[in-house]
Amino acid sequence: MRIGIISDIHSNLEALRSVLADLKEKSVDRLVCLGDVVGYGPQPNACVELVRDFADDAVLGNHDAGAIGKTPVQQFNPYARIAIQWTREVLTPENYRFLSELPMMVILDDGTFVHASPGHPEEWEYLTECHGAKPEFDAFRTHLCFIGHSHVPVAFCREKNRVWRVRDQQLLIQEEIRYIINAGSVGQPRDGDPRACYGIYDTRTAQFEYFRVPYDIARTQMEMREAGLPDFLIRRLAVGR
């Protein structure tokens, strides 16, 4: 089975469209969305609708939770808060309901799928360092765990007591190693590469691969300006930070 994995779309319709077109070309059997469909960007409704139509599974992200009032807006930085409040005003009742019904976690084949961390998904912790990732390996039973949240494509590997991180574009999944893989961000990459990021996990060949897709950044920025979203959020898309 080939599983497409998309995360942190953040209401960036141009980025999501480009990724879905790329996925179509690469043909996957299933598409999983790791959450944060909304927040930051200008097209929350269109993005939720595409996820509703194309993703087979989706989990809740912290910005989705903020937009539907499940996570208090005080927990977000000022820029994110403005975007969440704006999102809340424009979300249609159907899309609001879709986000409200998203689970925190999905298990599929040999993978656990969660937005932030498998240990305490509702606490929205960031897994960026090996020492933070290490105890998380005891919190899921599958061979792999796929996460989003930090917007940085990176994999944590664990063999016995040793944990290390890899930034390779391709990973050959080894039997004796367990993995926590961050799928990167479709709509707001933060690793210095502004192109949209997503991953494909092929269970048959035991390979995971990241793909980067260019999209019309200027158009998303223009829509953000029209929506009156913060300038800082508009500018960061161009540099992928």
Q: Amino acid identity, residue 133?
A: A
Give the total of residues touching Zn ion (CB under 5 A): 2
Q: Amino acid identity, residue 47?
A: C
- Pick 48 or 157: Cβ nearer Zn ion: 48
Under a CB-based contact definition with an 8 Å cutoff, are residues 62 and 116 in contact? yes
Under a CB-based contact definition with an 8 Å cutoff, are residues 72 and 214 in contact? no
- Pick 4 or 66: Cβ nearer Zn ion: 66
Residues 6+ apart with CB under 8 A from 89: none
How many Å apart are CA 126 and CA 135, to the nearest integer?
Answer: 13
Q: Minimum Å distance from CB 148 to Zn ion? A: 6
What part of residues 4-23 is at the interface with Zn ion (CB under 5 A)? 8
What part of residues 32-61 is at the interface with Zn ion (CB under 5 A)? 36
Q: Minimum Å distance from CB 151 to Zn ion? A: 6
Span of 3-11, 46-54, 154-162, 202-210 interacting with Zn ion by CB under 5 A: 3-11
Q: Minimum Å distance from CB 40 to Zn ion? A: 8
The residue whose two tokens read 């208090």 is 72
Write the burial class of residue 1 (CB in 10 Å: 0-12 exposed, 13-18 middle, 19+ buried): exposed
Q: Minimum Å distance from CB 206 to Zn ion? A: 28
Under a CB-based contact definition with an 8 Å cutoff, are residues 58 and 36 in contact? no
Q: Minimum Å distance from CB 20 to Zn ion? A: 18
- Pick 149 or 212: Cβ nearer Zn ion: 149
- Pick 8 or 223: Cβ nearer Zn ion: 8
Q: Which residues bind Zn ion (CB under 5 A)?
A: 8, 36
